[in-house]
Structure 1
Amino acid sequence: MSDTPPPPDQIDGAPHPRETVRLFGQDAAEAAFLSAFNAGRLHHGWLLTGPRGVGKATLAWRIARFLLATPEAEEDGLFGAPPPPETLDVDPEHPVAHRLLAGSDPGLASITRSVNEKTGRMRDEIVVEDIRALNRFFGLSAADGGRRVVIVDCADEMNVSAANALLKMLEEPPERTTLLLISHRPSGLLPTIRSRCRTLRLSPLTPEDMRAALEQAGAEPPEHAEHLAALAAGSVGAALRMTALNGLGIYAELMAVLNSLPRLDRPRALALAEAAAQRGAADRFELLLDLIDTALVRLARTGATGQPPVPEAASGEGQILARLSPDAYRARAWADAAAEITARSRHGRAVNLDPAALVLDTVFKMQHTAAG
């Protein structure tokens, strides 16, 4: 990974969504938008929802490219309306495609978290000034009468003032303008924003679509793509992160530690903790904590349902989970442990606790739960 952080709307190690040629696994969402477009029911506000990393931003840029490059029926004059489009694909050589890649199309505004001019640092939220900048965009770009598209990535990051400013635009949308709001957690948005948008929900990717999406992003799919799909929960973004940080290897080591419980393979546990504490390993430490959460959830689910999740996220995982969580009673114990471990991890990170100590504390809690 580069030392320079990517823009707020780009996953580290992946192309920017405007550069992504194809969208995998989201045919239903694309078909729903095309159906509305072809029926003349193009809503002014669209809420693109679903887990992180499944292609919401890619779909938003595909829709923007399509809308800006596709003339309306009446613009074709004497020859009548063209046949309705069957895909959102736009020729890469189309002028709109070139302008979007260059970030120079006057019909598009992309709203993300911005840099605070006073501190020179990226803000943690989208502020009202970011939304109000759209007024200037609409005023400057309305002269040619073409379509206008706004992408907000992501709407979850708007503060209260920014959300209220956007709500006013949704209530009185500028003519021929489509607003595309990307949201990982739509329940956190203002109900009035949700009610003024049509929702397109994107789904987690299958292992086959995951493999294709990884290849498009320039990442070599692992030998066990089903393991990666299970750990990433169908999210290409999560899969790219795990591929870059050897997430499959880390999870396999975590399973080896769990397999030793309740006696605990201490040398292995120490090696896992020390790897997380190495200099420059902050990203791997964060990933390890996330993978511990994943393992605990899968343990609880195994006991609650009577069978391990499918597909496995590591070789032999199913047998390990079934032994440690054979019934509903053990499932409850693991669920309680997950809540406590998550709270401890959050506190430990907040006070900058030594990573190795935090990992070992977590492992000992898992050992205690396994022994109970």
Structure 2
Amino acid sequence: MDLAKQLASRVTTLSPSTTLAITAKAKEMKESGIDVIGLGAGEPDYNTPEPILDAAWRSMKEGKTKYTPSGGLPALKDAVIGKLERDQGLTYTRTEIMIGIGAKHVLYTLFQTILDPMDEVIIPAPYWVSYPEQVKLAGGVPVVVQATAEAEFKVTANQIEEVITSKTKALILNSPGNPTGMVYTEEELKAIAEVCEARDIWIISDEIYEKLVYGTTKHISIATLSEDAKKRTLIINGVSKSHSMTGWRIGYIAGDEAIVKAMTNLASHSTSNPVTTSQYAAIEAYNGSQDAVEMMRNSFSSRLERIYPQIQAIPGFHTVKPQGAFYLLPDVSEAMKHTGFQNVDAFAKALLEEANVAVIPGSGFGSEETIRLSYATSIELLEEAVRRIDQFVKSKWND
């Protein structure tokens, strides 16, 4: 049997998730008894806060285990509406909110809803690995715009304007960003919003790391900048990163009523509804105390301050200090040059197999000379991982 003939063309060109692949390999090595330190996973290392666990358990005990509306429980939509009002000063109605099975599923459903074949979506790079793949799955064309370390890995309004064509449907904006941790300023967002208004394209604002910003940095949603910006912005968010609920799979979209309605109709034929228990947990996440959110933010901030100078001190590593999320994205091109590696995939593979440290090669993020390190783990493991990486580079250094 010719396997290629059994598969739809839409899946044969997909690239697997680099993040999940490295994480799986590291787990396999750990299970075989190897002392691997994983800096690959994109999730907080804290358990879901107790009040949220209690709310989920209570909902099950009360028999709340049946189907819900496809677009999510009205009470959860209200909790999202309240969160957006408190945090961003934005007003939405239930018909402008859809709950999905994680922000990733919400994005997937959005692209399936708004893209026709050959519609273009502008994606700043470095980007989250699933953006281009999801656009391609919907028949769209990813248009990648490269941001540089000198520009703090942020694209400019001019760069965006230069690639807009008659086929451009949307721009993806991720702030704070994965894998860079960089945050767009109000001035930068205003300039981007003006371009999108002038050229009449949607803004898909992925704000999943919104709560994880450090120092004096503030997260600003582009939807808050003007009435037009709000109308054309589709906010994507969820509880995964903010409340350490990655496995609960609850995300949402806030935006245009017609798009939300169409997405809800599509979801009704694909997933029926988000997991009922998880929805009740998310209601508590948004309506309850936010103390745990702040505790985690402070912890990540402390780890960043501790680990950043140590990463910078590794020979051939050059890193822009992030302002949010929990990732570092060092440029390792100099280190590769002096250690004999031709690309970051080979460099990351050797780090895992020889130094027992799992990192994600930047090739999966559209950044060919970087690696991503997550500092969502204990400071003791972080410092040991840095020591191993430093030793690995120095042992292979060749002038």
Larger Rg: 1 or 2? 1
More helix by percentage:
1
Higher relative contact order (CA 8 A, sep 6+): 2
TM-score over 0.5 (shorter chain): no
Question: If each structure's strand is expressed as a fraction of its own residues, which one has the higher value?
Answer: 2
TM-score (norm 2): 0.27
With normalisation by structure 1, the TM-score equals: 0.29
